[in-house]
Amino acid sequence: MAVRPVHLIGDDILREVSSEVNELTPEVSALIEDMFDTMYDKDGVGLAAPQVGVLRRIIVIDTSPKKKNPIVLINPEVVLQEGEQITSEGCLSVPEIYGKCVRPEHVVVKAKDRNFKEITIDAEGLLAKCIMHEIDHLNGVLFVDIMIEEDKDRTAKKE
């Protein structure tokens, strides 16, 4: 287990499309553990593999206040999205900028979990926002590409 360096905006690897994971190998399991270590170390609520320099379709998320609800999504696929919310987003790869984006309020996502078992996640609000933000990373998209305006209140506070 280790904290890995996070690649920052301007780094070309963040603009690549990541590949699917075809099998659960020890390397994939180690990567997932390192992604959690890295995310918690930096007080993030989500992290995608390309942010640590690995172009694989793997996401980790934990929106709970005390690291109690770790979620792993491998090869996530959005099967339903509905409604709309205006979010306020930041990103470990985009230091000191926050922005408002339009995201679906409700999403249903199919994926594999850390045991490579099929799961379906039904998410609303904050979790829906995080899932969509992280899936964007797998396609080379950053929140600053889609933000409707900078969230200057949060940017000024450097939350």
**Which residues are catalytic, by number?**
134
Piece in contact with Ni ion (CB under 5 A), picked from 17-25, 88-96, 104-112, 145-153: 88-96
Of 10, 28, 26, the C-alpha closest to 18 is: 28
Nearer CB in complex with Ni ion: 60/111: 60
Residue with tokens 């850390």: 114
Rounded-to-5 percentages of helix, strand, coil across the chain: 30, 35, 35
Piece in contact with Ni ion (CB under 5 A), picked from 58-66, 87-95, 116-124, 148-156: 87-95
Tell me the residue number closest to Ni ion, measured at CB: 91
Nearer CB in complex with Ni ion: 71/91: 91
- Backbone phi, then psi, for 42, in 5-degree steps? -100, 10
Q: 157 is written with which tokens?
A: 């506070």
In the complex, the smallest distance separating the C-beta of residue 39 from Ni ion, rounded to whole angstroms, is 10
Q: Are 72 and 94 in contact (CB under 8 A)?
A: no
Cβ neighbours of residue 142 closer than 8 Å, sequence gap 6 or more: 9, 14, 91, 93, 94, 136
In the complex, the smallest distance separating the C-beta of residue 94 from Ni ion, rounded to whole angstroms, is 7
Nearer CB in complex with Ni ion: 6/28: 6
> By three-state DSSP, how is residue 113 classified?
coil
Piece in contact with Ni ion (CB under 5 A), picked from 27-35, 89-97, 105-113, 115-123: 89-97
In the complex, the smallest distance separating the C-beta of residue 14 from Ni ion, rounded to whole angstroms, is 9
Q: Which residue of 91, 101, 123, 127 would you call a contact of Ni ion, by CB under 5 A?
A: 91
- Tell me, what DSSP letter sits at residue 87? E
The contact set with Ni ion (CB under 5 A) reads 91
